[in-house]
Each structure stands twice: as C-alpha cells, then as structure tokens.
Amino acid sequence: MSDVYIIGAGIHPFGRTPARSGLQQGVFAVRQALAAAGLAWRDVQFAYGGSDAAGKADTMVSELGLTGLQFINVANGCATGGSAMFGAYSTIKSGEFDLGIAVGFDKHPRGAFDPKPAEWGLPEWYGETGLMLTTQFFAMKIQRYMAMHGISTGTLARVAEKAFANGVLTDHAWRREAVDAETILNAAMVSDPLTKFMFCSPAEGAVALIFASEARARALGLPAVKLRAAAVRSRPPGSFEVFSPALDPERGPSPTVIASRAAYAMAGVGPEDIDVAQLQDTESGAEVMHMAENGFCADGDQEAWIAEGRTRIDGRLPVNTDGGCIACGEPIGASGLRQVYENYRQLTGQAGARQVPGDPRLGYSHVYGAPGVSAVAIVERV
C-alpha cells in the first residue's frame, strides 16, 4: 500500500461563465492542473469524475485525448467530488495505478434548486404546499441550534462578512466585493434567521486534482501534499436532514460527525492539530454548526470564536480561506474538490493574497449535502 499525494491542482473560476459548458470548464481545470505539474494527458492512468447537473465526465476524453485510460464517472449528489477523490485515493493506495486525477464540475440554473417530490420518495403534497425547500431546512436547523446554544444573528452576519472578505482575495471566487456585517443583517430575509447574503447560490465551476503514489511524487519532485485521510459517510439514525416531513423523537449525530471521526482516526490526528479548515457553508449557520460537528469547538463556543476573529485568515484556525460556498457559489460536483484545491494552495504556499501565515501543515476539508452525506479529507504539507 502506498501513501497518496496530491501533486497538482487546477480550477476553472467559479461563478457564471455563459460561454463555457460545465464539461468545458472541467476540461479547463484538467489542462490547468496538468500544465502546472508539467504533465501530459497521456501520463494520466485513471480518472474519476462527475457532475450533478452538467453532463458525463468521461466524455472529456473527446477533448483531452483518446488515450484509453480508465475513466470512472461518479454520480453521488452533493458528495460527487468527495467520492471522486475517495476513488482516486483508494486506487493509488491499493497500488493499482500510480498517477491519476479526480475532476468535478457543474453548471446550475439560477435560483434555488427545484426538486421533484417523487424523486425523493415523497408525496406530491409535500412539494405542493411549499414545504420542500432546502432553504427552510437550513434555516430551521440553525434556528434551533441558536436557541439551544446561544448563537446570535450577529455571529451569522460576521461569518458571511468573513466569507466575502476572503473572496476579495481569491482569484477563483465569484463574489469578490466586501459586504459588511450590518448590510448582511439588514438585507432581505430569505428564511428567518437567514438573509440573502448569508446563503450561497447555485453556480458553475470546475476543479481537477492530480494524485500520485509516494514513489511517483518523489520522482516528480513537485509541490505536493500528502492525503492523510479521505472519508465519505451517509446519515446515521436521528440526523436532521433536508426534505424530512418528520423526524424521529430520538435525535442522533449528523453524517458530518461520523465522517469527521473516521477521518481523524485514519490520519491519527485530532482537531487541535489542524491549521486551516474548509467547512461546508451552504449558509453562514452551516459553517457555525460544522465548526462543532467537525470537532473544532464545543457547541456554543462559536459565539466567542467568531467575535474574536479566530476563524479569519490571520486567526488561530482560519476557516474557508477562499470565501467558501458563500463567496464561490456552489457547483455541486466541484464544490468539495474546491475545498481540497484551496488546502493544496495553502499548504504549498501558493495561496497569494489569502495565504495563511506560519506555514500551515495540516489542512481539513468537509463537504456536506443532501440527503445526508459528508466527505472529509485531511492533507499534510510535505
């Protein structure tokens, strides 16, 4: 079994690119990653790729070259990118191949997602009467959390303010203008307590990561990070998930909690060892709750953490250094890989204006989505 390294990364800027399809953005990201690593498409032995709504990843070979490589499409909803990465991780670790890529891309229409009840195994009345909205779920999860653990709306606003501030510094971000906490708080309410500036939007973008075995990484001598853990977990009993007409009275942990524990165990590190974290921030309350679900603080401590700026780029644990989903938008298939891309840039000292000071060693990434799936990865500077 080999250790697994990420030796290159490419990204197509997130946001809106009317002139390019999602697939073309994926090809762009692959080419950028290969160029930065000085590699050619024919060097790639295998690929895992996918999108949620923008087509079949393996058709990229038409543009990239018909090398006959093993190309596996991944369709795992919000965990598509995380699953592609897990595939690459396992493939290198097993020794089957020593160099390959994971690529994720997407292109969603504007506005909230519009799900169909039947596709989720739900009766039509649930959608007809206006209960089937992801925004309601996020609002009700943070509403209860705020009441139970003393989190203020000011904290929600400061999390979004930080996201936009980091987006200003990030080439690949969509929202690149600062928005102050006051404006965020007073903006139009979408679903109480969340205003429009606290939510991310569906968007477009693509990310490609190049994976290699330890021997191959050493031979190539490229800037690299070691993938210490990659875990994907589905929901346990009692977790609170989107599109739930009812919940069991006995509440349980979230898929994030179990994915996080699994990743820490694989890596042999704990939350106190992490130097930079990218956490799912579908809305600013999600970032707050995910700080605790991933073990970085106790429930309720976020109020002090945010007030003291501990999650800013110059703080003790910088969170969502590229502005996260709030500033980058959420192309589902690419979003989880963007987090790992960002950690790769940070740990290899290539993050430019948003570089976390002090040579960060361990980077943590966490993606979460419907219907209750989380993927966590931990990478280490080498």
Exposure string for 154-188, b = 16+ CB within 10 A, e = fewer: ebbbbbbbbbbbbbbbbebbbbeeebebeebbebe
Q: Which of 321, 338, 348, 256 is nearest to 84 (CA)?
A: 338
Q: How far is the CB of 21 from other proteins (least distance, A)?
A: 23
Q: Is 110 helix (H, G, I), strand (E, B) or coil?
A: coil
Closer residue to other proteins (CB): 68 or 121: 121
Q: Collect all residues with Cβ–Cβ distance below 8 Å to 50 and sequence separation of at least 6.
A: 57, 73, 74, 75, 76, 80, 81, 83, 84, 104, 333
114 versus 177: smaller Cβ distance to other proteins: 114
Classify 121 in phi/psi space as left (phi over 0), alpha (psi -120 to 50) or beta: left
Instruction: Find the shortest distance in angstroms from Cβ 189 to other proteins.
Output: 5
Question: Cβ 319 to other proteins, closest distance in Å?
Answer: 25
Q: How far is the CB of 174 from other proteins (least distance, A)?
A: 21
Give me the residues that bind other proteins (CB under 8 A), please: 111-112, 114-117, 123-133, 136, 139-141, 143-144, 147, 188-193, 244-249
Q: Spell out the residues 6+ positions from residue 317 whose beta carbon is closer than 8 angstroms to its own.
A: 274, 275, 276, 277, 296, 310, 311
The residue among 148 and 215 lying less far from other proteins, judged by its C-beta, is 148
Nearer to other proteins, 7 or 242 (CB): 242
CB 240, min distance to other proteins, A: 9
Pick 65 or 238: Cβ nearer other proteins: 238
CB atoms within 10 A of CB 141: 18
Cβ at position 238, least distance to other proteins in Å: 11
- Distance between CA atoms of residues 285 and 159, nearest Å: 8
Return the number of the residue (123 or 268) whose C-beta is nearest other proteins.
123
